[in-house]
Amino acid sequence: MAPARVHASGRQDILRGMRDHGIPLTAENYSVWQEYHEASDTKLRRAIDILLSNGRIPDQTALHRLYARHCAPVQETAALRDIAQRALETLHLVTGMLGDMQGAATEYGESLRSAEAGMATTAAETGSGPTILKPLLERLAGETRDMIRHSKTLVRRLTQSSERIEELEQFLSEARREAATDPLTGLANRRAFDTALREAAADAMNTGRPLAVLIADVDHFKAVNDRWGHDTGDAVLRMVAGCLTQAVRGRDIVARHGGEEFSVILPETPVDGAEAVAENLRKSVSQTHLALEASNTVLTVTISVGVTVYEAGEKLTDTLARADRALYRAKQNGRNQTAVVGQNG
């Protein structure tokens, strides 16, 4: 998916909002206000709206916490920090250019007023003789040419800066996307899963609709690595990821939970529906074969799946702990199967 672009009008709205609320222009604060402006993170928007509705402006400590929770990757890379700083420097450059343009316009206006006053005085003294007015008109024409040339230069530089900002914003969006993606499988990583689960739980609380969580584990994965090597193990993980992705619906979220574990978020899905989805996932993996060309072997793996449903108001760590217990039960019962654990199970 291509990273989202923030158009010039959007940037102006973001900067205007920061200025109106007295938010200092830093790379972190700009990221927070961009997320707030685009409403791409409902929890961040809700947190800021609550502060603003109470007549409070987020201070720098609150903004830093919002950035760390909603905008920053788990381990912010030096490259991302560099991109953010370059974007901030460009924003400062554009601000300076706008200041230059305002200064030039002010100077030009003063020249016009001076010329107008001079012409009025000369006209009164000489009866508006065109020969005497000629130097003033030439001065006015020269000022006009200088203003036009200066404006063209500024417009060109502003256009170049705007293009650079768009490029940097693309880099930032791509860096954020990569920070939330497992590089091996292309699935959401654990950080993205945790964020998506918090949002899904909030929606379930607001709507009263069910929310199911699955945790799946590749059976005997260590044996695969030991016998066939880690390259084959990686190929198995990619194959399983593909099976899981193809077997879920559009709103469902599949993530690599860690190691050979995968997790699935199923919004608006009751326990019986979640169990049916888990069975479809399990069968899809077991019926998919991986050809090992080097050894002329066809490899088949299976998964065990734990199923649970989020109970409104509970801690998400409790939900995940139940899903883990369900997975452990599936493993204990012989693997390659699905187990369900409810709140009392």
3-state secondary structure labels for all residues of 94-146: HHHHHHHHHHHHHHHHHHHHHHHHHHHHHHHHHCCCHHHHHHHHHHHHHHHHH
pLDDT for the residue numbered 293: 78
pLDDT for the residue numbered 134: 61
Q: Are residues 206 and 291 in the same domain?
A: yes
Pick the closest to residue 323 from 214, 189, 196 (CA basis): 214
CB 267 within 8 A of CB 305: no
Q: How many C-beta neighbours within 10 Å does residue 342 have? A: 12
Q: Are residues 224 and 128 in the same domain?
A: no
Last residue of a domain, one of 70, 86, 114: 70
pLDDT for the residue numbered 138: 66
pLDDT tens digits for range 299-337 = 999 999 999 999 988 999 999 999 999 999 999 999 999
Pick the closest to residue 150 from 99, 104, 94 (CA basis): 104
271 within some domain: yes
Q: Find the range with the poorest average confidence among 23-32, 183-192, 245-254, 292-301.
A: 23-32
Q: Are residues 117 and 234 in the same domain?
A: no
Q: Are residues 88 and 156 in the same domain?
A: yes
Say which CATH number the domain at 243 has: 3.30.70.270
Q: Of 35, 169, 260, 275, which residue is the catalytic one? A: 260
Q: Are residues 48 and 83 in the same domain?
A: no
Q: Are residues 23 and 102 in the same domain?
A: no
Last residue of a domain, one of 131, 159, 179: 179
pLDDT tens digits for range 49-91 = 888 887 788 888 888 888 777 776 544 555 555 655 666 666 6
185 within some domain: no
pLDDT at 130 over 60: no
Q: Are residues 90 and 216 in the same domain?
A: no
Q: 3-class SS at 41?
A: coil
Q: Are residues 54 and 91 in the same domain?
A: no
Q: What single-letter amino acid sits at 184? A: L
Residues 6+ apart with CB under 8 A from 34: 6, 14
Section 93-99 average pLDDT: 61
Confidence of residue 295 (pLDDT cuts 50, 70, 90): confident
Residues 6+ apart with CB under 8 A from 111: 139, 140, 143
Q: Are residues 168 and 27 in the same domain?
A: no
When the pLDDT of each residue in the chain is averaged and rounded to a whole number, the result is 80
83 within some domain: yes
Q: Is 24 left (phi over 0), alpha (psi -120 to 50) or beta?
A: beta
pLDDT tens digits for range 153-191 = 766 776 676 677 677 667 666 766 667 889 999 999 998
117 within some domain: yes
Does 66 or 97 have the greater pLDDT score? 66
Q: Are residues 109 and 155 in the same domain?
A: yes
Q: Is 260 a catalytic residue?
A: yes
1 within some domain: no
110 within some domain: yes
CB 301 within 8 A of CB 218: yes
CB 269 within 8 A of CB 210: yes
Domains contained in the chain, number: 3
CB 251 within 8 A of CB 211: no
pTM: 0.58
- DSSP conformational letter for 181: B
Q: Are residues 283 and 322 in the same domain?
A: yes
pLDDT for the residue numbered 302: 97
Last residue of a domain, one of 70, 105, 121: 70
224 within some domain: yes
Domain extent at residue 55: 8-70
132 within some domain: yes
Section 109-116 average pLDDT: 63
Q: What percent of the chain is predicted at pLDDT more than 70?
A: 67
Q: What percent of the chain is predicted at pLDDT more than 90?
A: 40
Does 113 or 298 have the greater pLDDT score? 298
Section 287-298 average pLDDT: 86
Does 301 or 140 have the greater pLDDT score? 301
Q: Are residues 85 and 63 in the same domain?
A: no
* Distance between CA atoms of residues 343 and 310, nearest Å: 9
